[in-house]
Structure 1
Amino acid sequence: MLLAPEQFLGFLAAAVLITVSPGPDNLMVLGFGMSRGRAQGIVFGLGCGFGCLSHTALAALGVSALIAASPMAFMALRIGGGLYLVWLGIRALRSSGQVRVAAMRGADEPLSRLFARGLLANAINPKVVLFFLSFLPQFIVAGRGHVGWQTAQLGLVFTVQAALLFALLGYFSGSVGQWLQRHARAGAWLDRLAGTIFVALGVRMIVAR
């Protein structure tokens, strides 16, 4: 069973906006691309994107286990996740929006090692684990069944779009970095949009029955 079209499109739109909002991963990709070159930025970005696969597996297994254990436990996860998303949204709305790109200096590394660095940086980040466990269930339609499979598909969609966007960011890192320097408030607007989405999703799941 594949995701419903409206389920897929709604999730993809939210995932893309969240991915392009200034954050540690995409700012690191920008830093690598600007200071070391396009190839390095692309490879590091792909590593960051595909690091989401580990979180996808954890989320799919964890949500499936909760459903099997108790529908009430799953509801508690969704409410807790909703509160976490509201908190993230409020932080984004209150953010100054200033984007600071740190140059990633140092000795040249093999591309395979850069990919592994990006993969590891994302895979071991506990904040990303919490985000996946909070964000993915908001788009699960429990009535359609196969909750674990739905979660896995959503995680794969997030992973693919993140890897593609991070790779593009690495490729255009020089131009994007210059544009961000000229438009200092761009980060604020992206934060506001992402924050609004977080709050809306969180509130929807807190009040949903």
Structure 2
Amino acid sequence: MPASATLLLYVLSTAALLAVPGPSVVYVVARAVEHGRAAGLVSVLGLETGALLHVLLAAGGVTAVLASSEWAFAVLRYGGAAYLLWLGLRQLLSRRRPAGAGPAATPASRRRLFRDGVLVDLLNPKTGLFFLAFLPQFVDPAAGPVALQVLVLGLLFVVMATATDSAYALTAAALRNRVARPASGRPVLQRTTAVVYCGLGGLAAVV
């Protein structure tokens, strides 16, 4: 296991990274604004499950293999972008609820929300490359099996990311309850979240 000083440096570095909102925060906030607090938290669990799978792949060396394959990287990259764009288009084309029904009249399935979160994160190869580039900086080959150290550091990152993203989801849901009116707020939220998904998809494809 890494030394205590190394772990402390890792925690501080991870906290600094998580303090800057990224695509995952934007995604979670969009879900919470559109569907409410529970949906935001379920989306967080989905995203972090995807991140956990990336950690397992990195620990097993699979991420390094994928990173060395331009074809495999492109498939994941454009597959993830296409999935985000599909989420946005589905949001735009979905039927609006009857006036007065309110934002929570037909809440999205929690299973679907969780699945979407997992796929959004899992289909993003840049997440895997992040773990491949970031975690080894804090690994000490003399302190034990490298794969085990990567796994432990990755799990710690996922735990901290879960706490951070959950805080954003709860904040977004609280603001949503204050500003969204039952009849008029729903179409605006629907269009806004659709634009967010499409924007994230476009960003994933070109960056």
Smaller-chain TM-score bracket: 0.5 to 0.7
2:142 matches 1:135: no
Distance 2:7 2:50 in 1: 21
Residue 174 of structure 1: how far off its partner (Å): 4.5
Q: Which residue of 1 aligns with 2:111?
A: 112
2:17 matches 1:18: yes
* SS of structure 2 residue aligned to 1:152: helix
Residue 123 of structure 1: how far off its partner (Å): 1.2
Distance 2:172 2:8 in 1: 27
Residue 3 of structure 1: how far off its partner (Å): 3.7
Q: 1:58 to 1:35 in 2, by over 3 A?
A: same
Distance 1:17 1:36 in 2: 29
> Residue by residue, what CA displacement relative to the aligned partner does 1:6-36 show, whole Å, maximum 9, x if unpaired?
2222112211221231211111111111222
Amino acid paired to 1:41: G
Q: Which residue of 1 aligns with 2:53?
A: 54
Q: Which residue of 1 aligns with 2:5?
A: 6
2:30 matches 1:31: yes
- Would you say the 8 A contact 2:52–2:154 is kept in 1? yes
Distance 2:168 2:113 in 1: 15
Amino acid paired to 2:32: G
TM-score (norm 2): 0.60
- Would you say the 8 A contact 2:2–2:143 is kept in 1? no
- Would you say the 8 A contact 1:3–1:153 is kept in 2? no
**Worse overlay, 46-55 or 106-115:** 106-115
- What are the ranges of 5 or more consecutive residues in structure 1 without an aligned counterpart? 67-76, 78-101, 178-209
Residue 137 of structure 1: how far off its partner (Å): 0.4
Residue 50 of structure 1: how far off its partner (Å): 2.2
Structure 1 vs Structure 2 CA RMSD: 2.7
- Would you say the 8 A contact 1:20–1:26 is kept in 2? no
> Residue by residue, what CA displacement relative to the aligned partner does 1:91-143 show, whole Å, maximum 9, x if unpaired?
xxxxxxxxxxx9x9557321122112111111121111111110110110122
- Would you say the 8 A contact 1:50–1:163 is kept in 2? no
Distance 1:46 1:25 in 2: 11
* SS of structure 2 residue aligned to 1:51: helix
Q: Which residue of 1 aligns with 2:186?
A: none
2:165 matches 1:166: yes
Distance 2:169 2:8 in 1: 25
Distance 1:61 1:109 in 2: 35
